[in-house]
Amino acid sequence: MREVNISQLWGRAWYLFEVNWLLLVGILVYILVPIFVSPAYILLMPVLVRAGYLVARQGQSSFREAFRDLSSLLKIFVYELTLLLILWILRRIAPPGWDGLDILVVAGFIILFVWAAPYYVLSGRAGIFSAIGQSFSLTWRNFSKVFVALLSVIGLLISGLLPLGLGLLVKAPDLILAGGLFYGLWLLVVVSMVSVFLPLLYFALTDEEGVSHSKSLRLG
């Protein structure tokens, strides 16, 4: 199992975000536009995935490059639809005694094993469904590192709620409003960084050729 330094991965993700923030945040903001304003909304999440992959691989990318490969974008879109279908089926077949938390935990473990599938597709190393199998294998071989990495993602997402939680605790409307605005900005930054962090993790674990700046993030 390859040793991966998670803190160095986040450091690299932050640096690449600083260099490419306009691209990543721009795509993410457009994703938030209501679907009736943007007919291309359903394809924009794959665009963010591809943009993050290109930034992690090359160090820099552009809007034109992120939108360029329609075939890859459609494959990632099909993967996302497949994942949503699996989660929907899970909810439908869940035992009567299960609550939302139980379903969320199982869904989290499913995502834990298929997170790398889009990057296998973008690298051209697998098709949609074989990529899911390869992602499962990659996670199984490096379970502890992947688990810690995804826990760090969840931790970052939750930590931004602290100001809002404080406002709710003391029942201060101004603080609640400020906390809500802060969390919105926090999500823009963190989700953008995550879009780069995950492919960096993929590169570090697979040692894919042509990603020299990711190899330095491995230990040993």
Give domain status of residue 220, yes or no: no
Number of neighbouring beta carbons within 10 Å of residue 124: 8
User: What's the half-sphere exposure (Cβ side, CA atoms, 13 Å) at 202?
Assistant: 30
Give domain status of residue 150, yes or no: yes
Segments forming the whole domain that contains residue 185: 6-215
Q: Provide the pLDDT for residue 43.
A: 64
Give domain status of residue 28, yes or no: yes
Give domain status of residue 1, yes or no: no
User: What's the half-sphere exposure (Cβ side, CA atoms, 13 Å) at 6?
Assistant: 12
For the entire predicted model, the pTM comes to 0.87
Round to whole Å and give the CA distance between 119 and 76.
Answer: 9
Q: Which residues contact 156 (CB under 8 A, 6 or more apart)?
A: 190, 193, 194
How would DSSP label each residue in 11-76?
HHHHHHHHHHHHHHHHHHHHHTS-TTT-TTHHHHHHHHHHHHHHHHHHS---HHHHHH-HHHHHHH
Q: Provide the pLDDT for residue 220.
A: 36
Give domain status of residue 208, yes or no: yes
Q: Which portions of the chain are predicted below pLDDT 50?
A: 1, 36, 210-220
The tally of domains found in the chain comes to: 1
Place of tokens 């991966």: 4
